[in-house]
Structure 1
Amino acid sequence: MSNLPKGGSFLFGQTNPQDIFTPEDFTLEHNMIYRTTAGFVNDSILTRMDELESKKEGLIRELLEAAGELGLNGADIPEDYDGMNMDKISITIIAECIGRSGSFAMTHGGQTGIGSMPIVMFGSNEQKKKYLPGIVSGKKVGAYALTEPGAGSDALSARTRADLSPDGNYYILNGTKQFITNAGMADIFIVYAKIDGDKFTAFIVDGDSNGLSTGVEEHKMGIKGSSTRSVIFEDVKVPVENLLFEIGKGHVVAFNILNLGRYKLSANALGNAKYALELAATYANDRKQFGTPIANFGLIKEKLAEMAIRTYVAESMVYRTGGLLENILHSLDTSGDDGGQIAAKGIEEYAIECSMNKIFATEVQAYSVDEGVQIHGGYGFSSEYTIERLYRDARIYRIFEGTNEINRVLIPSTLLRRAAKGDLPLQEAIEKLKGEIRSGDLIREGEAGLVQAAKDIFLLTMGAGLQKYGKDLQKNQEIVGRLADMAIRAFAMESAWLRAQKAVANEGEAKAKLKLSMARTYINAVVGLLEYSAKETLAALAEDEELASLLEDLQRLTKYTTRNTVALRQEIAAAISESGKYVV
């Protein structure tokens, strides 16, 4: 583990392209899993989407059991409990392919992620034996009950209460949870409650428990085929052996599970963005106006190209992070009874990257479905066309698993906390950059130089923030949010460029041409946005001579010659139109 990069360390050094994982590194087994999962989604789910959206009785369970037969429910679960115990790349592939499946993706995510991973990582051996095989087969449905009417992002303010019964055999739960996915059919609930009103603790609650009831189905904007209800606990008796992990350690369970949940959600969003691009490219090829396919019009080309570019960047980030997660888990001994907790700690190392992926991929998804509707024109607003459903379904992705705003706050605050512990050289990097600026020792040429410039812009701005606010910087969310965006864009730029460089080294420049074009276009387009954001932020952090000096330093970091990105986008759009889908 000591030789592996620390979470967030990409900001403070160079990464060898050969050290990152990319989709071009898929093994034969990975490709087989991709084909199997995509085939299941295309043949068994998308063909029945109307039935799914109308909540046909029993269909969700039928599909979950079919997924179970293919091994798609137990990818994260050890073989001792009937799971497949797949590597994190395989798990990412499954999540990406399932992302195309609309409402089913929500149900499956609740089943294989937040609804079961608390047991996988924090459950006792007896709890795992009792509950996990049913999750794997799909015969039991899992749900995660954290959110309450008055406790969303502030989960620790939950009011659901647990009190030990006089005989010491049960905890008695009272309270209400809200917006719970799979609630209408769940057999197993992961529930968070405060013992004696103050010890935040996780429990496994059977769905058929006396006193447990659910509200009516929520009438949602999208993901209509999934079950979303409130869950009410009225003197529900939970056996003491169903307490999950330790009393008062519910936050450890909840927050560690959310790291993996955010990562998987980013893979879901990636698959959905690819689907939107496929629908848009196919429609643009078929739809004719003024005697020619609209795919030949410049502004449609730009839309298709930009959808593809952002999807490529998201894909590069997601699988790079998947490689990080796989490497750290491979380095750990998870064979003991506490193996799940050790794995959770390993995943927590990359909490920053998980949050960055969640934000970036869900916002790429949002962009792609929106432009997909625009390319469809009036037909995109009609429910007869699939893109209309994708547009509605996508909106929730930026809200759950921690809103994108909450995740933006988490990124700089986690960096600052780790730097304070000595785990990341933040202050050293800021001082080093100041020295380089003063000495004029700055060489930022080509795309690799712009990637470094992005990191430098973040460090310059973070330094100004710390200079003004010190430890109180985290209280200024407008500044923190902009710093998060700078870090995300730096990671995005670097991931796209490293993938392209690895492809050039391994396949030759000719085969890697499209990847290079996508990376170059994204980097050149975004560096200007970074510069503007930094100016806006610095103006909020300094005045007069200090501000003038900071802006002068910023200007030194952002001297570059812009590429012809219009021509690059035309090249990318031509490749997308020719294939009718996302290609690299």
Structure 2
Amino acid sequence: MQDTLSQTDILGGGEFLIKPTPSTDQTFIPEEINEDQRMIKETVHDFLHQEILPNIDRIEAQEEGLSANLLERMAELGLLGTHMPEAYGGMQLDTNTNTLICDVLGPAAAFTVSYAAHTGIGMLPILYFGTEAQKSKYLPGLINGELKASYCLTEPSSGSDALAAKTRADLSEDGKDYIINGQKMWISNAGFADLFIVFAQVDGDKFTGFIVEKGAKGMTLGAEEKKLGIKGSSTRQVFFEQVKVPVENVLGEIGKGHLIAFNALNIGRFKLCALCVGGAKQSAATAVRYANERVQFKQPISNFGAIQHKLAEQAVQIFASESALYRVSHLLQEKNRSLMEGGLSFAEAKLKAAEEYAIECALLKVSGSEVLDYVVDETLQVHGGMGYSEEGTAARAYRDSRINRIYEGTNEINRMLSIDMLFRRAMKGQLDIVGPAWEVQKELSSMPGFEQPEGAYAAEKKAVKDFKKAVLMTAGAAAKMQMDGKLNLKDEQEIIMNVSDMLLDTLVAESMLMRVEKLSGMDNREHPQEIYDAMLKVFITDATARLHKNGTDALVSFAEGDLLRTMLMGLKRFTKYMPANVKQARRAIAARLIEANDYCF
């Protein structure tokens, strides 16, 4: 097997697990943005710092009309249609640029919810599944800010189990309208939305999407919810009582609403990771600045090792998740390009690309949201008592972050989805997991080699290669047990969670390795290569320990006797990485942050 993939062999969804580490030209890293992307980044940065952040307190108080007005001002800059076709007034920018925009907007606190709900789950269902008449009618207004969008999926009795919705739609006697009755909850943007993407059961059992306009008779809103965080976002219940919706406002096919809901969520999860990464950078910068200015025992607390550990670990986790984010962004972009060259429309290509990388999008959602939660928690800790005060930003960021592990599918659901989709693709023959898993099993019966890896990043490349073997061995053994009737993975969610965490660490570690190796060949990098190397070593050291723990927990849950002993020995073999002085590595990373007085990576 070749050591690296050629430039033309772009990985398909989930293939990162079974294919060699690609060459670095198959990833995009933020350090290589071009001049056009830099200009767009600066435009978004200026809007964030001139229009959003100075008004955060007003946004938090839900000042009437403010968030809607900010969306309109974003539209004037073209920022609501960067991901939309030019035919409807959009800018049709590439995926990497759109990822960069979300990244820069990450610090916008609760306003990120208004923006993401409008541009993502509010607009994409129409782009993906709307008729030409629906696209022509609604997309231009959504792009120019005249219309604001909302997405009505969740109900009191159906959250993660969206298809259990009870909202009902029945065809009127004259066949011109559907009559909708029901209730939706936790609806973002509901307070100012002009357009609602609504899901209901046609005839009680055909889950279907509809486009419902503001002012429809019988549609009413509940009061603004009192929430733990994201207080500045509008979140209301939406009630439907004999609401007439013209038949031409059916979105997609009757009974195929699940395709709309799930495909809109794929990109929603991806964008959520980008927003979380951007927010984490801002929070980490806050921690660095406070650590430099807070004096205790006659010196800044940034001088202390315990604080330096926190600052460095924030940077390592952000850098790692960001590496995976932009790698998958590039995969989505290349898939879009390939599909359009093959004859698909812009919308069809975006939909198919999102479907292709649904596994990666689910994993990224978990990564970004959990990294942000770690970062805001440690930022608050660095601030000490001041972090607990609402006078600064640490407390609000701490509260705002918590929702990210819940919406767009809980992190538990996304972990299980990633493995479920992996197995489903394998069963359909779309992804050959059996062959690589069998190769790993054969390797277990052979003597391990003792040769030392050579070359740049050889130890890290071997570690990532072995991570894949550990996942394949563990997942393959569980799947074999299920096929033999000795295990029902539907009842073993803990095992699935273990394997998903192993899969996530593998994706992130490989993505970080590709980024660091690519940086080593760049002359214009901002920091000495040793700093990037230090971050990589810290992450792989910790990931090695996590993979061993998760693999062990999974294996002892279903295997025993000689089989268990063999696989545990194999797991030990596949989770070896030369111990690094992570204390010194973190101190070097922290020194760069402290000197910059900012998050500087």
Provide TM-score, normalisation by structure 2: 0.94
Taking a change above 3 Å as real, the CA distance of residues 143 and 274 of structure 1, as seen in their structure-2 partners, is same
- Given the alignment, which residue of 1, 5, 12 partners 1:6? 12
- Judge conservation of contact 1:497–1:520 (CA < 8 Å) in 2: no
| Contact 2:122-2:196 within 8 A present in 1 as well | yes
Matched, 1:301 2:308: yes
Contact 2:103–2:277 under 8 Å retained in 1: yes
User: Displacement of 1:557 after TM fit?
Assistant: 2.0
Q: What is the 5 A alignment of 1:283-302?
A: 283-302=290-309
Residue 189 of structure 1, aligned match among 190, 196, 199 = 196
Are 1:364 and 2:371 matched, yes or no?
A: yes
Alignment of 1:396-411 (within 5 A): 396-411=403-418
Q: CA RMSD in A?
A: 1.7
State whether structure 2 residue 507 is matched by structure 1 residue 491: yes
* Runs of at least 5 residues in structure 2 that lack an aligned partner in the other structure: 1-6, 454-458
User: 1:103 and 1:558 mapped to 2: Cα distance?
Assistant: 40
Number of residue pairs the alignment of both structures matches: 584
Partners of 1:418 and 1:498 in 2: CA distance: 26
TM alignment of 1:116-265, pairs within 5 A:
116-265=123-272
The secondary structure found in structure 1 opposite 2:390 is: coil
Equivalent position to 2:540, from 512, 523, 526: 523
Cα separation, 2, equivalents of 1:170 and 1:338: 30
Q: Which residue of 1 aligns with 2:518?
A: 502
SS of the aligned residue for 2:391 comes to coil
In structure 1, C-alpha distance between the alignment counterparts of 2:373 and 2:9, rounded to whole Å: 37
Instruction: Pick closer, same or farther for the CA change 1:463–1:246 going to 2, 3 Å.
Output: same
1:26-46 C-alpha deviation (Å, 9 max, x unpaired): 111111111111111111111
2-side partners of 1:336 and 1:81: how far apart? 20
* Structure 1 residue 544, shift from structure 2 partner: 2.2
Deviation at 1:336, TM superposition (A): 7.7
Q: Distance between the aligned counterparts of 1:236 and 1:496, measured in 2?
A: 51
2:578 pairs with one of 561, 569, 572: 561
Q: Distance in 2 between matches of 1:334 and 1:461?
A: 39
Q: In structure 1, how many angstroms separate the alpha carbons of the residues matched to 2:31 and 2:452?
A: 28
SS in 1 for 2:122: coil
| Deviation of 1:412 (Å) | 0.9
After superposition, where does 1:353-502 map in structure 2 within 5 Å? 353-440=360-447, 442=449, 445=453, 446-470=459-483, 472-502=488-518
CA contact (8 A) 1:444 1:453 kept: no
- Mapping 1:272-351, distance limit 5 Å: 272-333=279-340, 339-351=346-358
Deviation at 1:3, TM superposition (A): 4.2
Give the drift of 1:508. Answer: 8.8
Q: Distance in 2 between matches of 1:143 and 1:173?
A: 17
Aligned-partner Cα distance in 2 for 1:568–1:320:
25
Q: Are the structure 2 counterparts of residues 2 and 190 from structure 1 closer, same or farther at C-alpha, using a change threshold of 3 Å?
A: farther
Q: Shift of the alpha carbon at 1:334?
A: 8.1
Instruction: Find the residue that maps to 2:63 and give its secondary structure.
Output: coil
Aligned to 2:456: none
- Partner residue in 2 for 1:50: 57
SS of the residue aligned with 1:332? helix
Counterpart contact for 1:135–1:141, Cα < 8 Å: yes
Q: Contact between 1:334 and 1:342, CA under 8 Å: does it hold in 2? A: no
What's the counterpart of residue 3 of structure 2?
none
Deviation at 1:420, TM superposition (A): 1.0
Deviation of the 1:224 alpha carbon: 0.5
- Which consecutive unaligned segments of at least 5 residues does structure 1 have? none
1:261-298 deviations in Å (ceiling 9; x for gaps): 00000001001100110100011111111111111100
Structure 1 residues 400 and 313 mapped into 2: Cα distance closer, same or farther (>3 Å)?
A: same
- The SS at the match of 1:280 is helix
In the superposition, relative to structure 1, how do residues 427 and 474 fare at CA in structure 2: closer, same or farther (>3 Å)?
A: farther
1:570 matched to 2:565? The reply is no
| CA shift for structure 1 position 467 | 2.6
Instruction: Tell me which residue corresponds to 1:65.
Output: 72
Once residues 338 and 199 of structure 1 are traced to their aligned partners in structure 2, the CA distance between those partners, rounded to angstroms, is 28
Q: Return the offset for 1:511.
A: 3.9
Identity of aligned residues (%): 43
Q: Specify which of 113, 117, 134 is matched with residue 120 of structure 2.
A: 113
The alignment status of 1:514 with 2:540, answered yes or no, reads: no
Cα distance in 1 for partners of 2:600, 2:249 equals 48
| 2:267 partner amino acid | L
Q: Give, in whole Å, the separation in 1 of the partners of 2:433 and 2:219.
A: 49
Q: TM-score, normalised by structure 1?
A: 0.97
Partner amino acid, structure 2, of 1:8: G
Structure 1 residue 74 and structure 2 residue 70: aligned? Answer: no
